[in-house]
Structure 1
Amino acid sequence: MAPVVLIISLRHCVVKSDRLLAAKLTLEPVVSIQGAVVYGDGVGGYMYGSPAASSFYDPSAQEVETVKALGGTLGTSINAGAGTVNLVYGIATADWDDAEAAGLSVENQNEMFQSAYVNYIWEPIKDVSYGIEVGHHSREVVSGAEGSAVRFQAMAMYKF
């Protein structure tokens, strides 16, 4: 039977609360599938790829209010030759409705980030790794304007 790793995290404090569900399924010996879903109220930068700050100031209520955010990733890793091919998709959204209702100008605030990428990382000799990656990244702001970019990267790493 293939090993399954499941992680559940529920946290709450005065300024933020979040929920995390992550899982990894290893299909021996060459393939694994992993994913995660995160939801939070005030998580901001605590969530990787979050498009929003954790909070905003509501001048009419004279209070700091939190921004709700939702994100998820899904990926697969496939052993190939001396390395591993990784295919990944991720999305993160922020809900600015409360800030807009408070009268703040939010049309240029980031509302959604998306990324899809593929990379190959290999270790030709012990403690030396190389990698190449291409990714497509996009964002949308509250007004509906959007943009995207394609990024190519390479790396060399020595572990000592």
Structure 2
Amino acid sequence: MTKNKLSSSVQLFSGVLILGLANAASAIQIETDDAKIDIYGYARLNASYDINEDISRSSGTRSGDFSQVNTGAAENSEASGYFGADAVQSRLGIRTRMANGVMVNVEGDFRGGANGGQLRLRHAYGQYGNWLMGRTWSNYNSFVGNTSVLEMDGVAGNAGLYNRTAQVRYIRGNFAFAVEDPKPNILGQATKSGLPTLTARYENKAGALKFSSAALLQEVGYDTGTNDDSVFGYAVFGAAKFQVTDTLSIQGNVNYTDGANSYLWRSGTNYYGEDAYLDGNNVETITGYSANLGTTIKVGPGSLSAVYGMTTMDWDDATDDGLSVGSKHERNTNAFLTYKWSPVKSVMLGVEYGRYEVKKVSGDEGDGNRLMFAAQYNF
């Protein structure tokens, strides 16, 4: 039998319960003389009922959308009761570990397209030794302080870039350094990316405490051919989880940005805010900060979690410089109460109450309340 020929055994493993956004455990493993290939994923139903505002994300997964929260006089114009369901969060991945030490991971879900249902690339990267190259979670990211919720888009104030990006990463012990695809965003102006974003992260644990901290530096600039300018923006975060007892944990995140709100989760109108604006021909940075705090406790056959998160962007300088930014989001907050349990192995069921609040620079405010149910079948 040649090295590339499949061995006679194909091992089937039952899935492992997945709570939240953790990577799925492999259910099918194919072994050759040169590699082990894991096929993993899950099928998932998300159903939501928006009580007083229709704020479900149109692209699927039934996540709440800050941009769809009505504010001011418009808040009272909505009728009550909006239901919807989809399965576009369902996921499929292939991970290959080769005998020479190379690992390759490709993963997708079905959140692509205007209304979901098209395959979307999540991960496509390779790793050998200390080096990782390709698309995966940003190095400026940590899940240590996150509280698990049903909504795929998660909690305002989660640490760092809550997304995946192209990068080259070097890992040394508890430290990781990366150059990443830049994401500058100037209000009302096309940007120019002359340099990659530089990120550094440290993650460790001490007894019952896990913690992580990271920083980044990015260029924010533009060039119209007639006028140009650029500045450097930066961001930092800290994340921690303390396991109080075997059944109780407390976790949270804090973030600060200056010229890097494109890395401040759930800022702006929904996902990320602007890094800067133009005062004449000059680039002026916008600061922001965010935090969340949650707890998880084992209750009955499952776990109960409660979490509150907020993000704030400082538009004062832009207002003082004469920009019309009254419709911009100054503060976004959300809170969740979530219960998850596993009636049988490889199945997760969950119910959740969520509340979204928005305050705009103009002072207009609004809120939305929603219920969610999820059923996930892992393989």
TM-score, length of structure 1 as denominator length: 0.91
| Cα contact 2:290–2:311 (8 A) shared by 1 | yes
| Separation (CA, whole Å) in 1 of partners of 2:207 and 2:369 | 35
Aligned to 1:46: 263
| Separation (CA, whole Å) in 1 of partners of 2:363 and 2:356 | 16
Aligned-partner SS, 1:106: coil
Count of residue pairs the alignment pairs up: 159
Q: Which structure would you say has the larger Rg?
A: 2
| Cα contact 1:77–1:86 (8 A) shared by 2 | yes
Aligned-partner SS, 1:99: helix
Question: What are the superposed Cα offsets for residues 118-143 of structure 1, whole Å, 9 maximum, x if unpaired?
Answer: 01011111111011100111010011
| Separation (CA, whole Å) in 2 of partners of 1:22 and 1:129 | 26
Structure 1 residues 69 and 83: alpha-carbon distance in aligned structure 2, compared to 1, 3 A threshold: same
- Return 5+ residue gaps in structure 2 as ranges: 1-205, 221-232
TM-score, length of structure 2 as denominator length: 0.40
| Separation (CA, whole Å) in 2 of partners of 1:45 and 1:81 | 40
| Cα contact 2:293–2:309 (8 A) shared by 1 | yes
Task: For residue 107 of structure 1, report the CA deviation from its aligned partner.
Answer: 1.1
Aligned-partner SS, 1:100: helix
Amino acid at match of 1:91: M
Aligned-partner SS, 1:139: strand
RMSD between superposed Cα atoms in Å: 1.7
List structure 1 segments (4+ residues) > 3 angstroms apart after TM superposition. none
| Separation (CA, whole Å) in 1 of partners of 2:361 and 2:291 | 20
Amino acid at match of 1:13: Q
1:35 to 247, 252, 255: 252
| Separation (CA, whole Å) in 1 of partners of 2:217 and 2:263 | 13
Question: What are the superposed Cα offsets for residues 45-91 of structure 1, whole Å, 9 maximum, x if unpaired?
Answer: 4222113622343151x133332111000000001122110100001
Amino acid at match of 1:54: E
Task: For residue 102 of structure 1, report the CA deviation from its aligned partner.
Answer: 2.4
| Separation (CA, whole Å) in 2 of partners of 1:108 and 1:39 | 23
User: Which residues in structure 2 correspond to 1:82-121 (within 5 Å)?
Assistant: 82-121=301-340
Aligned to 2:240: 23
Task: For residue 13 of structure 1, report the CA deviation from its aligned partner.
Answer: 2.3
| Cα contact 2:334–2:354 (8 A) shared by 1 | yes
Q: Does 1:10 pair with 2:215?
A: yes
